[in-house]
Amino acid sequence: MCEARSLQVVFPGDTNHMGTLFGGTLMAWMDRVAYFAASRRARGTVVTRKVDELEFRVPIFVGDFVELVGRIEAVGRTSMRVVVEVHRENRDNGERELCTTGCFVMVAVGDDGAPVVLPPA
């Protein structure tokens, strides 16, 4: 199945007063990776229909590398379920851990914005 990967680094402007990554910033990064994976599968335009689940398990700090991986988990007639996993990596010692997971439902749309049937796999 299709997947997409992204690597980010957390800068001070990306964080809250605790020095951890804003949840909204991370969600935007995750939505973008879900878009890339779903767009590859659809071979066209997709939009986010809903976020089924978003679980913040471990904080992400200034200076951490953030790897996001989106994978198509299920494909329907016009929509796809994309699971995105987020790992933080300490740049100084290489320690990695799973921080966040999310499930995004992406819908293939035509130029008019209406759902279109996905091509066969």
| pLDDT digits 0-9 by tens, 81-105 | 999 999 999 989 999 999 999 999 9
Asked whether 38 and 106 are in contact (CB, 8 A), the reply is: yes
The boundaries of the domain holding residue 103 are 3-108
Contacts of 78 (CB under 8 A, 6+ apart): 107, 108, 115, 116, 117, 118
Q: Is the pLDDT of residue 65 over 80?
A: yes
Alpha carbons 39 and 47: distance in angstroms, whole number? 9
**Residue 116 resides in a domain:** no
**Residue 12 resides in a domain:** yes
**Residue 60 resides in a domain:** yes
- Alpha-helical runs (H) found in the chain: 23-42
Handedness of CA 77, 70, 102, 104 (dihedral sign): negative
**Residue 114 resides in a domain:** no
Q: Is the pLDDT of residue 121 over 90?
A: no
Provide the percentage of residues in the chain whose pLDDT is more than 90.
93
**Residue 115 resides in a domain:** no
Domain count, the chain: 1
**Residue 82 resides in a domain:** yes
Give the pLDDT band of residue 42 (cuts 50, 70, 90). Answer: very high
Give the model's pLDDT for residue 2. 86
**Residue 39 resides in a domain:** yes
**Residue 69 resides in a domain:** yes
Query: Domain with 11 in it: what CATH number?
Result: 3.10.129.10
